[in-house]
Structure 1
Amino acid sequence: MATIFGIPLQALYGQLLIGLINGSFYALLSLGLAVIFGLLRIINFAHGAQYMLGAFAAYLLLAYGGVGYWLALILAPLIVGLLGVVIERLFLRRLYGIDPLYGLLFTFGLALTIEGTFRYLYGAAGQPYAPPAALTGAVNLGFMFLPVYRGWVVVMSLIVCIGTWLLIEKTKLGAYLRAATENTVLVQAFGVNVPVLLTFTYGLGVALAAFAGVLAAPIYQVSPLMGSNIIIVVFAVVVVGGMGSIMGAIVTGYLLGVAEGLTKVFYPEASNTVIFVIMAIVLLIRPAGLFGRDA
C-alpha cells in the first residue's frame, strides 16, 4: 500500500474528505456571520443556535408534516430566516449604530434561550435524520470510495457560497446593501428603503445558517448542542478570514477545514486546536485577518 511519511494514502484521502466536509460547514456558517457583521455590524452569537434550528426544522417537517429532505432544504431556511426577520425587527434594529458588544450580548442570550428550550424539549441526545434515497451509497473514485451525500454537501456548499458572494458583490441589490452600511442617509435620499434592506440582510445570514443545518442533519444527527459545538470554531474562521469579509469567510472556511483534517493524520493530538493556533499566528502577522481591511 502506498504511503506518504508512513501514512497510508487511503487514510490521507479519507481525512482530506472529512476536512473538506467540515470546511463546507465552516464556510457556510462563517459566510452568514460575515454577511451579518459586514453589513450590520452585529456579532451574531446566535448563529450556532440558528444552524441548529435549521436542522430541527427539517426534522420536525419530516416528523409532523411528512415533508422530505428536498423540500425541507428550501422550507427550513425560509422558516428560520423569517424567524430571523422577526428578531431583527423587534430587537436588533434597536442596537444599530451603538457598540457591537450590545449585539453580541443580546445574541448570546438568544442562543442560550433557544438551545435551552430545545434541550428541555428533546434532550441532549441526537435525533436521526436519514439522507434522501437518491444520495445514499458511495462512488468509487479509484483511489477511494466517496459517499454520495458527503460529495453533495461539498458541491452544494460551494454553489451557495459562490452564489451569495455574487449577490453581495456583483448585483445592484448587493451594491445597495453595501452602500446602506456606509452612508444610510444618502442611500435613503435615492428612495431606497434601508430598514427593509437591513432586515433582508439579517434574514439572509440566518437562512444560510439554517441551510447548513439541513445539510448537516444526516451527517451529525439533529441535536440541541450541534450549534454550540461548532460556533467557536466558526468565529475563529471568521477572524482568520477577516471580520466582515465575504470572500475571506469562504476561502478560510475550506482551507481551515482541510488543515484540520490533515492534522488528524499527521498529529492527531493537535487536531482540536490547530485552527486556533492558525488564528493566533494570523492575528500576530495581520490583525485584520487574511482578507480584512486594515483600519
Structure 2
Amino acid sequence: MYQRSDIKEGMTVRSIDGEKLGRIFAIQDGEFLIEKGLFFPKDYVCRYSEISDIRDGEIILFHGKEGLHRFSLGEDRGALAGTGGGAGVGPGALGVPAERSTGLGLGADTAGLTASASAAGVERPMVGQSEVTVPVHKEELDVVKRERQAGEVRVRKDVVEEEKELSVPVRRERVRVERRDVQDRPAMRASFQEETVVVPLRAEEVEVQKRAVVDEEVVIRKDAIEEEQRVAETVRRETVDIRSDGEVEDARKLNLTPEDPTLRRS
C-alpha cells in the first residue's frame, strides 16, 4: 500500500483504463482530493488503498471515475459523509480546521476564491493558489493532401489484315528454233546414231517474305497542373462567460475577450 510520502500535490490521477481524472490539490493521511476542470469541476476524494500503481509521476487507480467518492462542501464538515458513489467529504475529513477553511477555499465564505462551474452551482476550491489560468480552446483546420487515381487513359492496339500487291519484274529464258540450209559442208564426226539434245531454260520466280518494321509512334505525356480547391469544415471554439459574486476590485480583468491569451482570474 502506498504512503503519504509517495503522493504530492499536482500529481495527475488516471483511471485503470488511462482516462485522466484530474490532479491532486489536497492530501491527508489515508486519502487525497482530486480536482478536475474549472467551469465544470468534479472534485473527488480517493483513498490510498485505491491506488494501483504510480508511474512517471502519475497515479493509476484500480477503478474508473465511477468508483470515486464525490467531494462536496456541505454543512457537515467534520467527517466523511459516506463511502459509496455520491458520498460527500467535508474539509474536516481532510484535516483542515474550520478556522482555516476560508483561507484554503473550503469554507462557506469562499466566493472570492472559487469559480462558478455550471448552472447547478458547483464550485472549484482554489487550495493554496492565488491565481488560476483558464485555457480557452478553439479548433483549427489542418489540410492534408493525399494522392488518388482520378482517371486513366488506355491505348489499345488492334491487328488489321489487308491485301498488299507488289509488281516485281522477273526474267525467264525462252527457246527459238531456227533451221538454216548449209551447202556441202563436210561432217567431221558423224556417228549416225539417235541422239537427244537437252537445252535447259531458266526463269526467276518470286518468293514473298514478311518482316516487321516500326510504322509510327504514339507518345503519351502526363503534365501536372495546379488548381484551387475550396474545402469547408465546421470548427468549434470556446467562449467565456465570467460571473462574480460580491465586490470585485479589478473589474477591468473581467472584460477580457475569450481570445485574449492572458485571460486569468485572481
Fold-level match, TM-score > 0.5?
Answer: no
Q: Which has the larger radius of gyration?
A: 2
TM tier, smaller:
under 0.3
Higher relative contact order (CA closer than 8 Å, sequence separation 6+): 1
Higher share in strand: 2
Identify the structure with the greater helix proportion.
Answer: 1
The TM-score normalised by the length of structure 1 is 0.23
Q: TM-score normalized by structure 2?
A: 0.24
